[in-house]
Structure 1
Amino acid sequence: MLTGKQKRYLRSKAHHIKPILQVGKGGVNENLIKQVDDALEARELIKVSILQNCVENKEEVAHFISKGTQAEIVQIIGNTLVFYKESSENKTIILP
């Protein structure tokens, strides 16, 4: 569980990152979870964009991705989700 100070730090780091994955009409599925998990292992901090044709709401999408990857939800802003998960091999972000 992240503290408020850690979330604030991660939000500032994520500000300049572009979303690398999109959730569309298919919603959250096994393939998306696998892609998010791989991206988190490589980068630790990612943004996921939710398209307008996604049938699930953004809180459900965030919950499903977070539960499937054991990642922390840093921020939900508009249709963009920010996730953090500490990498086991490529650790680059040091939390305060």
Structure 2
Amino acid sequence: MPTLELTSKERSELRAAAHPLKPVVLIGDQGLTPAVLKEIDMNLTAHGLLKVRVAGDDRAARVAMLDTICDSLSCAPVGHVGKTLILYRHGSQNRRWEQKAEEPVERSRRLPNEPHTPKKLLAAGKTLKDRKAPRKSARGNDELVGTPARKPARAPSARPGSSEAHGIPRRAGSALSLRAGRRSTAAPRTSRRGGR
């Protein structure tokens, strides 16, 4: 049977498609036996693109095996990397890599005078105008009922530092004078060195 010929572009695409594949067929020390050839033929028919692992350190023997496999099974050699052979046969049923990539969908572009809409709102089919509309109507209803929409601001207190403004008592003096032992003025002071 004749060996298939591939262009360099097809070969590079197939090599890229074979990158994540693991070797399916392992050729042992006995070399190419009829059982191994039958297994390779069955996997090429099923998958189309196949990795084969060859045991042995002789590169010339691996190249001879690759040529023998391609001649006898009518497949194309895609690559030979180390002890791994990559084979391809056209016409298999499972050809995911041969499907052309679809044209990328052009994303919609927003005009400069259009407002920005977040992705989550777009996914839900809403716009910012839809989201803000109920707020305006709620304010309008509040005015119709007669209740104010906002509370009036408090009048400022007479003294900005007074304790009535927030209900927290203030200490006299600066924060720097509040050292340990000086916090309460009512506690008697004792010295460590002398009596008490």
Q: Normalised by the shorter chain, which TM-score bucket?
A: 0.7 to 0.9
Aligned pair 1:78/2:77, yes or no?
A: no
Aligned with residue 65 of structure 2, among 61, 70, 73 = 61
Aligned: 1:87 with 2:91: yes
For 1:77, the aligned partner's letter is: V
Deviation at 1:50, TM superposition (A): 0.7
Following the alignment from structure 2 to structure 1, what is the Cα–Cα distance between the partners of residues 42 and 7? 24
Query: How far apart, in 2, do the equivalents of 1:91 and 1:8 lie?
Result: 19
Counterparts of 1:1-96 in structure 2, within 5 Å, are 1-52=5-56, 57-88=61-92, 90-92=93-95, 93-94=97-98
Could you report, residue by residue, the CA deviation over 1:41-83 in whole angstroms, capped at 9, with x for unpaired residues?
Answer: 10000000011378x7110110111111111000000000000
Gaps of 5+ in 2: 101-196
TM-score after normalising by structure 1: 0.88
For 2:94 and 2:39, the matched residues in 1 are separated by 18
Give TM-score scaled by structure 2 length: 0.45
Secondary structure at 2:87's aligned position in 1?
Answer: strand
Count of aligned pairs between the two proteins: 94
Give yes or no for contact 1:50–1:80 (8 Å, CA) kept in 2. Answer: yes
Cα deviation digits, residues 5-57 of structure 1 (max 9, x gap): 00000000001100001111110121111111110010000000011378x71
SS at match of 1:10: helix
CA 1:52–1:94 in structure 2 vs 1: closer, same or farther (change >3 Å)? same
Task: Work out the CA distance in 2 between the residues paired with 1:95 and 1:76.
Answer: 24
Instruction: Call closer, same or farther: CA 1:48–1:76 in 2, change over 3 Å.
Output: same
Task: Name the structure, 1 or 2, with higher relative contact order (CA <8 Å, separation 6+).
Answer: 1
SS in structure 2 at match of 1:32:
helix
2:80 counterpart SS class:
strand
Q: Which has the larger radius of gyration?
A: 2
AA in 2 matched with 1:20? V
Percent identity reads 27
